[in-house]
């Protein structure tokens, strides 16, 4: 006799609890640096925020470390105190500095030049990026002695800076001029409210006559005895400056320098805005 297997039909249906699923864009970290134009020796604050903002983030701080034993080799390394991450979204760095001697941005060709590195590191290298972006070391055009690169006759125009395994310095955009006159201007940014004097220098010790100064190719008035004094600089004074003078009192020949950028930094900066303490 064949047994019939009863069919089992569910008499009750149930639904699970509902879950609200929200899909949003991937949070993006945004890094800011303050001050934007630090002076040598200044502390620099790195700030990282996540957009859109939310709580519960831990921050890991990295630096790009040059390998001083090879050329153009770098690795990423966690900064001290950041190996397990930090709850704070900011990190303070001490700065190194580059000092140029003579203390100006323009120099004559075949003029001796010294670039010195200062900071907490003990081993430094001086590097240069030329107008084509090619990077080279002091050993290619000078001699590194301790923390100073001495250049006798092989200096060329470019952006120079110092670096160690833990620090980077400010950069200086140095111009090597093959002509007979250069602009004398500071190689470091000038702080708002401070004074600055620009000069015009001949390769010889002779003086130029009726010297004029130009900013962005426009004549700047009020030059006195071959110098341009800006008594209280502001950000509006930033620009490319050059000088031009007569070789003799009643001569027909004028000499013109190359251009250099005059950089002005804030007296006090907060949230990428400039303020004055005076």
What per-residue confidence (pLDDT) applies to 78? 83
**Longest Cα separation, the chain:** 136
In sequence order, what DSSP letters do the residues of 118-143 get, joined into one string? ESS-S--EEEEE-TT--EEEHHHHSE
Look up residue 25 and give its two tokens: 């864009």
Residue 8: what pLDDT?
57
What are the residue boundaries of the structural domains of the chain, listed by start? 28-94, 96-178, 180-278
Asked if domains 96-178 and 180-278 share a fold, the reply is yes
- DSSP for 232-267, please give it: S--GGG-EEEEEEEESSTT-S-EEEPPPEEEPEE-S
> What is the pLDDT, as a whole number, of residue 274?
67
What DSSP line would sit under 69-118, residue for residue?
Answer: TSSS-EEEEEPTT-TT-BSSSEEEEEPPEEEEESSSSEEETT--EEEEEE
Over its length of 278 residues, how does the chain's per-residue pLDDT go in tens digits?
566 656 656 666 677 777 777 766 778 888 988 877 666 556 788 899 888 888 888 899 887 777 766 666 777 888 777 778 888 888 877 778 899 999 999 999 989 999 999 988 889 999 999 989 899 999 999 999 999 999 988 889 999 999 887 788 888 999 999 989 999 999 888 999 999 999 999 998 788 888 999 999 999 988 888 899 999 999 999 999 999 998 887 777 899 999 999 999 887 666 556 666 65
Angstrom distance (rounded) from CA 24 to CA 50: 14
112: tokens are 């001796």
Distance in angstroms (rounded) separating the CA atoms of residues 117 and 46: 23
Taking CA 28 as the corner, what is the angle to CA 92 and CA 89, rounded to the nearest 5 degrees?
25
**CATH fit for domain 96-178, picks 2.60.40.10, 2.40.10.230, 2.70.98.50, 1.10.4000.10:** 2.60.40.10
Q: How many CA atoms lie within 13 A of 36 on its CB side?
A: 11
Rg for the chain (alpha carbons), in Å? Answer: 30
Q: Closest Cα to residue 142, out of 96, 166, 107?
A: 107
* Cβ atoms of residues 114 and 101 within 8 Å: yes
Structure tokens that stand for 256 in this block: 């013109």
Kindly compute the dihedral angle of the four CA atoms of residues 265, 133, 78, 149, in this order, to the nearest 10 degrees.
-80
The three-state secondary structure class of 187 is: coil
For the domain spanning 180-278, the CATH number is 2.60.40.10
Q: Could you write out the DSSP letters of every residue in 68-81? A: TTSSS-EEEEEPTT
Place of tokens 């105190």: 81
Task: Please report which helix (H) or strand (E) contains residue 189, including its range.
Answer: none
């Amino acid at each position: 006799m064949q047994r019939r297997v009863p069919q089992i039909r569910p008499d009750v249906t149930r639904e699970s609890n509902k879950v609200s699923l929200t899909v949003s864009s991937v949070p993006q970290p945004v890094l800011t640096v303050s001050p934007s134009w630090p002076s040598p020796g200044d502390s620099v604050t790195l700030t990282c925020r996540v957009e859109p903002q939310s709580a519960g983030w831990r921050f890991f701080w990295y630096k790009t470390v040059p390998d001083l034993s090879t050329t153009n080799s770098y690795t990423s390394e966690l900064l001290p105190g950041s190996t397990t991450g930090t709850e704070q979204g900011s990190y303070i760095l001490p700065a190194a500095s580059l000092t140029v001697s003579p203390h100006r941005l323009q120099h004559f060709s075949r003029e001796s030049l010294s670039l010195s590195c200062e900071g907490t590191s003990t081993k430094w290298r001086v590097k240069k990026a030329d107008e084509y972006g090619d990077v080279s070391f002091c050993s290619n055009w000078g001699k590194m002695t301790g923390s100073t690169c001495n250049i006798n006759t092989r200096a060329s125009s470019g952006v120079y800076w110092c670096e160690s395994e833990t620090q980077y310095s400010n950069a200086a955009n140095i111009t090597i001029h093959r002509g007979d006159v250069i602009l004398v201007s500071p190689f470091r940014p000038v702080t708002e409210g401070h004074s600055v004097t620009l000069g015009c220098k001949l390769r010889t010790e002779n003086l130029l006559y009726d010297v004029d100064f130009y900013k962005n190719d426009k004549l700047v008035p009020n030059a006195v005895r071959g110098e341009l004094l800006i008594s209280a600089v502001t950000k509006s004074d930033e620009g490319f400056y050059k000088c031009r003078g007569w070789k003799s009192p009643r001569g027909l020949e004028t000499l013109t320098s190359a251009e250099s950028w005059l950089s002005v930094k804030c007296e006090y900066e907060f949230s990428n805005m400039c303020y004055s303490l005076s």
